[in-house]
Structure 1
């Protein structure tokens, strides 16, 4: 495994290697080991890799390696399908860039006002991360200039094409130099990805990580029930596998809303993610789930893009997807990094063709169990261990995670061990605190000041 050490890569800055060590990057993941030598050498790369494979570092390290910190023009552009994924990628890039002083990384996505973004760009940026639609808006307004671009990254390219961004991606590429390096990452390789690669890349080198997990790490089960019995079957399944968190996939917005309401009636802290929510609502739901303060995230596939939760124990397909590749992507959110996971699918008699396609894709037989074998629900659901508090100030107000931690643990506050994840967004921040001390933490923050100012805080 010694050949998988970052220190063996040619062209890496010593300070970057030290930074990677501090961040806990010990050995390269498979996608990093395959793509980094090529990308660091300046080659165009077309990589098949899923969320959780380490792909952000696979494109982040090379693009940061080429930056000239003294030039405040945009040198790298990362295109992502959603605002949530853009934010996560930018956060990871900021960590990877710590070895270089004064690197500015700007997020440009829809769902928020364009004014502050224009103001931020006026002060220059080295790296831009964003969604194709909003990037095109800035190019039209001439508030974004990418004619000096060194690196173009297409992250989750298949989803961007699924969401109708093909024309936008091509339009963006016309604003960039032909000499740029283009790195394309996609979970699946449909024909339109091949076409996109051919049109935008120069003799790309193809690398592939077929699977994030061994089939042994995920316990997959089909539960057979009638269409009208699905909500009752879901309740029994969640009681049979009592985990604190699960993601439940549905095929339509209406089913998401129906399932979320049913779970709340049963005592779960459940939230639904679908296209009708505004960006603030989406952000709050994502953060609550990532911070461990909600039980169930019920979502459509597009809405769940960008959700990256460590150690997710259970995935449920309330509806079987129409595509076996989508099934593989859904269940790949559990059973990561050698940990065990459970993937439950509720299915009807008429869906035999879907089950067969999934089993062929998985190259294994998946048990088909009559839902009547599940025990009736007798125990109340587990409560999440944390509660999320929302603070009415964010990154644009110069708020840092350390400021929040300091306020929470100041005299009369709570123990630092009771503070969980802290997420600082542009204009708002969220902090997870242990459920038993949530009220105490809320009251303490309401009486506290951060950087000399009183702060608005509420429980979410």
Structure 2
């Protein structure tokens, strides 16, 4: 399919201006295939993975429907996790920057509900949230969805994996039958088909494969006994020294055990699985994304929605049972023209899964002999950045430029010493080069931001 420009669509001039200012040149496949139907008001069932451009697609569609002078909630986006809801909100805000008076509110757990109730009294045009907190507000009668024009279910398969099906249907019942519904899912299990039949009306079905070219992924398989796998992971990390690596395990127990083994060897490593509290999960994802930790050990469900633009390597500690999940795992590396590494550790009992992957990808896999790797160093991988947490955020009108200003200038740091800044409703996280972390922390604790003093601490 030849790519098309956004200007070929019937978008508002303000949205075209936003698209241009964000540097979006041509539409991605999911945008090109879904936007005409969404802008025409049709229901859409779309199969698209993280990194495909799906968020910008439905964001443009819902912003096209908003009437700024009608002070009701007109669009609802449901997401499986808080961090995904924050990502979606950030992208919608960026695309709405040239539209006057558009109000957006993010409703997630982990944020005081009183603040949200006060904000809901202002009747936001767009609500982005997790099912639990949205349902909580509906039960308190603090949120009204009777004027919703467009409903988006993002990463619907993951919401089903997490057991949110009934919550979703309770929320949907509070919206008008005349609404437009958009359902996005990375996979099409039977449960998604059943959900689409209950929620969507004669949807346009769109299926888009991953946006990157597998030619950019150096995929290799390693045959070894199960008990040899931890040593193999250490050898691969020490030899290739990737800047950022996700290691996939099939169980929480394997995640915890491998994480402990890597820490014993001196690696900076974090783990991500379903038992983490929301704030712990938020901090793990932030620290990995902002280079405060080079290695993340995760289960598939916990890692869904993880959107790291330049992931250097993926290691499959154990092969996925489903070859489609395997493709989804390794597709997180080798993006945007970068070369990525994907290693799969296979014990003899996993041989049938290798065959399934070969059949699915229509390839013969390449096998790597670990004994041929020349280990020039055994030094463990260490983080280059440290994350600081400031107890203030969007509710306090903080912006990235405020944080940068507090740390540079009188703060004594150069702009290059400050990394990614993530601002949430009541917290802000900033990555600082390790050698300047203590200096930055003292500056934040002793100084002021926008004339106010905020508590600050290291995230460990």
Superposition TM-score, scaled by structure 1 size: 0.95
Query: How far is the alpha carbon of 1:429 from its aligned partner?
Result: 0.7
Moved more, 227-236 or 168-177: 168-177
Query: How far is the alpha carbon of 1:112 from its aligned partner?
Result: 4.2
Number of the residue aligned with 1:419:
418
Number of the residue aligned with 1:48:
47
1:270 lines up with 2:269 in the alignment: yes
Q: What secondary structure is seen at the aligned counterpart in 2 of 1:243?
A: coil
Number of the residue aligned with 1:6:
6
Aligned equivalents of 2:2, 2:100: Cα separation in 1: 30
Aligned equivalents of 1:60, 1:357: Cα separation in 2: 36
Number of the residue aligned with 1:352:
351
1:119 lines up with 2:118 in the alignment: yes
Query: How far is the alpha carbon of 1:192 from its aligned partner?
Result: 2.0
Aligned equivalents of 1:390, 1:69: Cα separation in 2: 35
Contact (CA 8 Å) 2:44, 2:206: kept in 1 or not?
A: yes
Number of the residue aligned with 1:134:
133
Summarize the alignment of residues 321-340 of structure 1 with structure 2, pairs less than 5 Å apart.
Answer: 321-340=320-339
Q: What secondary structure is seen at the aligned counterpart in 2 of 1:73?
A: coil
Aligned equivalents of 2:314, 2:71: Cα separation in 1: 43
Summarize the alignment of residues 224-373 of structure 1 with structure 2, pairs less than 5 Å apart.
Answer: 224-373=223-372
Aligned length: 459
Inter-CA distance 121–266: structure 2 relative to 1 (3 Å threshold): same
Residues 309-367 of structure 1: per-residue CA shift (max 9 Å, x gap): 11111011112222222111111111112222111111100111111112222221212
Number of the residue aligned with 1:191:
190
Contact (CA 8 Å) 1:236, 1:376: kept in 2 or not?
A: yes
Q: What secondary structure is seen at the aligned counterpart in 2 of 1:449?
A: coil
Aligned equivalents of 2:294, 2:319: Cα separation in 1: 21
Number of the residue aligned with 1:390:
389
Contact (CA 8 Å) 1:433, 1:441: kept in 2 or not?
A: yes
Number of the residue aligned with 1:217:
216
Q: What secondary structure is seen at the aligned counterpart in 1 of 2:302?
A: coil
Contact (CA 8 Å) 1:292, 1:385: kept in 2 or not?
A: yes
Aligned equivalents of 1:404, 1:143: Cα separation in 2: 33
Aligned equivalents of 2:446, 2:292: Cα separation in 1: 23
Aligned equivalents of 2:304, 2:113: Cα separation in 1: 23
Aligned equivalents of 1:80, 1:49: Cα separation in 2: 15
Residues 194-229 of structure 1: per-residue CA shift (max 9 Å, x gap): 222222112111122123322212111111121111
Query: How far is the alpha carbon of 1:288 from its aligned partner?
Result: 1.0
Aligned equivalents of 1:342, 1:157: Cα separation in 2: 29
Aligned equivalents of 2:39, 2:148: Cα separation in 1: 16
Aligned equivalents of 1:114, 1:358: Cα separation in 2: 46
Q: CA RMSD in A?
A: 1.8
Query: How far is the alpha carbon of 1:423 from its aligned partner?
Result: 0.3
Moved more, 446-455 or 225-234: 446-455
Residues 120-167 of structure 1: per-residue CA shift (max 9 Å, x gap): 212211111112232222222222111111101111111112222222
Number of the residue aligned with 1:31:
30
Query: How far is the alpha carbon of 1:169 from its aligned partner?
Result: 1.8
Number of the residue aligned with 1:442:
441
Number of the residue aligned with 2:206:
207
Query: How far is the alpha carbon of 1:3 from its aligned partner?
Result: 5.6
Moved more, 69-78 or 436-445: 436-445
Number of the residue aligned with 1:104:
103
Contact (CA 8 Å) 2:48, 2:54: kept in 1 or not?
A: yes
Q: What secondary structure is seen at the aligned counterpart in 1 of 2:365?
A: coil
Summarize the alignment of residues 40-189 of structure 1 with structure 2, pairs less than 5 Å apart.
Answer: 40-189=39-188
Query: How far is the alpha carbon of 1:182 from its aligned partner?
Result: 0.7
Contiguous gaps of at least 5 residues in structure 1: none
Query: How far is the alpha carbon of 1:54 from its aligned partner?
Result: 0.4
Number of the residue aligned with 2:453:
454
Contact (CA 8 Å) 2:111, 2:426: kept in 1 or not?
A: no
Contact (CA 8 Å) 1:251, 1:321: kept in 2 or not?
A: yes
Aligned equivalents of 1:265, 1:223: Cα separation in 2: 24
Aligned equivalents of 1:330, 1:390: Cα separation in 2: 30
Aligned equivalents of 1:144, 1:162: Cα separation in 2: 26
Q: What secondary structure is seen at the aligned counterpart in 2 of 1:342?
A: strand
Aligned equivalents of 1:68, 1:382: Cα separation in 2: 51
Inter-CA distance 26–451: structure 2 relative to 1 (3 Å threshold): same
Contact (CA 8 Å) 1:445, 1:457: kept in 2 or not?
A: yes
Contact (CA 8 Å) 1:236, 1:375: kept in 2 or not?
A: no
Query: How far is the alpha carbon of 1:458 from its aligned partner?
Result: 2.2
Contiguous gaps of at least 5 residues in structure 2: none
Aligned equivalents of 2:132, 2:441: Cα separation in 1: 38
Aligned equivalents of 2:99, 2:293: Cα separation in 1: 37
Query: How far is the alpha carbon of 1:371 from its aligned partner?
Result: 4.2
Aligned equivalents of 2:20, 2:267: Cα separation in 1: 40
